[in-house]
Structure 1
Amino acid sequence: MKIIDAQFMQSAQSLKDSPSPDMAEVAFLGRSNVGKSSLLNTLTNRKGLAKSSSTPGKTQLINYFHIKFKNNDENVPYLYARFVDLPGFGYARVSKSLKEDWNRNLTGYLERRDCLQIFVHLIDARHPSLEIDQNVDEFLRTIKRGDQIIINAFTKIDKLKQNDLQKLKRAYPEGIFISNLKKRGMQDLEQAISEYLFGHQNL
């Protein structure tokens, strides 16, 4: 299953001005400067689809993108989902509480968005054990429903030495390991998302 088209839909400040929850959503969240916008652009093969702020941590809007999937079987119709680009967190400091660091609207989206199916937590491969990321992981596991999954995607692996990358993979065997620069790991992430959303029968 491949992503064949991606279009920006709208930005929202809260659930109140978000699109109707009539389609499965995949939320991308991570510490500011983790490479979230670059990953979304590479994953969708759409340069400039997700725009990064010139000041990390400045953007506070929830951005929605309409994603079209297709596999090689011409008899299988197009399938659709929404990718959701969430504001970065924890820039230049580690907060004591995730809910203090993120605004109420962002937390409300994560806790109460009925159509949200996948959390993609982006983690800088060079700093995999930061307190803020551990807090995020704990928070997500606390609020996660039975029909939701968490994908830990480690970015910037091209900046690691090979032996350090192997250690990271051993420490996080369920992780996905990404390099935007070298386009590594994108197919793994695309497959993990489409398998969960659409099932093996459509792949």
Structure 2
Amino acid sequence: MSNPLQGAQFVLAAHRISQLPPDHGAEVAFAGRSNAGKSSALNALTGHRGLARTSKTPGRTQQMVAFSLPPKVQGEGLAPLQVRLIDLPGYGYAKVPPELREHWKQEIDGYLHQRQSLRGIVLIADIRHPLKDFDRMMLDFCFATQLPCHVLLTKADKLSRNQSAQALAALRKELVEGGTQATAQIFSSQTPTGVDEARDVVVRLLNTPRE
């Protein structure tokens, strides 16, 4: 099976929204705690092992990193659609200086509210732990703004198949009870479990016009 996200390339790392690529085309942003496996997920999805930097030291992604994908061919007479993946700074890591945490809180908030090419969020969460406050804030924001959100419960290889299924069922129940219209799946960049499913979701988001 061919990889629809193959060909991803690093474009730039931005400290501010204004430094990102021009706000046209379509992009999907990846958000999550610093140690949830966000970089590994990006590498697995794109099939590019060295695309996003992985580190044993959480909190290394302290900029918004843009990756381009091959332009999508549109209908006759239309220019190819520019498509991107955006790696948002990992949140929740205690060793990040307070002033930098506040900076990224404001920049991420501005990005989510202002970025017109943003088509959806992929929220990365470690399957072994409950959702954190920032995870829930992201879900609530997506629901309030009708921005699609898909949760990847990463590191599923650390649990048994039965434990993973129970964790997914618990999260889906929480999402329904909370009125949050997000989707969720089990994921592992190591096995790899759920990679094809997640790729399909990202492609679908990129192809979905923003309301």
Bin the TM-score by the shorter chain.
0.7 to 0.9
Task: Give 3-state SS (helix, strand or coil) of 2:113's partner.
Answer: helix
1:61 aligned partner: 63
Q: How many percent identity over aligned positions?
A: 36
1:169 aligned partner: 168
Q: Distance in 2 between matches of 1:89 and 1:38?
A: 16
Asked if 2 retains the 8 angstrom alpha-carbon contact of 1:3 and 1:70, the reply is: no
Asked if 1 retains the 8 angstrom alpha-carbon contact of 2:26 and 2:81, the reply is: no
Task: Give 3-state SS (helix, strand or coil) of 1:4's partner.
Answer: coil
2:179 aligned partner: none
Asked if 2 retains the 8 angstrom alpha-carbon contact of 1:68 and 1:78, the reply is: no
Q: Distance in 2 between matches of 1:29 and 1:186?
A: 17
Task: Give 3-state SS (helix, strand or coil) of 1:2's partner.
Answer: coil
Asked if 2 retains the 8 angstrom alpha-carbon contact of 1:89 and 1:101, the reply is: no
TM-score (norm 2): 0.78
Q: Distance in 1 between matches of 2:108 and 2:133?
A: 20
State whether structure 2 residue 207 is matched by structure 1 residue 198: yes
Tell me how large the CA RMSD over aligned residues is.
2.6
Distance 1:164 1:21, change over 3 A: same
Distance 1:56 1:105, change over 3 A: same
Task: Give 3-state SS (helix, strand or coil) of 1:175's partner.
Answer: strand
Asked if 2 retains the 8 angstrom alpha-carbon contact of 1:2 and 1:70, the reply is: no
Task: Give 3-state SS (helix, strand or coil) of 1:195's partner.
Answer: helix
Q: Distance in 2 between matches of 1:166 and 1:54?
A: 27
TM-score (norm 1): 0.80
Q: Distance in 2 between matches of 1:131 and 1:183?
A: 28
2:108 aligned partner: 106
Q: Distance in 2 between matches of 1:40 and 1:23?
A: 20
- Name the count of aligned residue pairs: 186
Structure 2 unaligned regions, length at least 5? 74-78, 96-100, 173-182
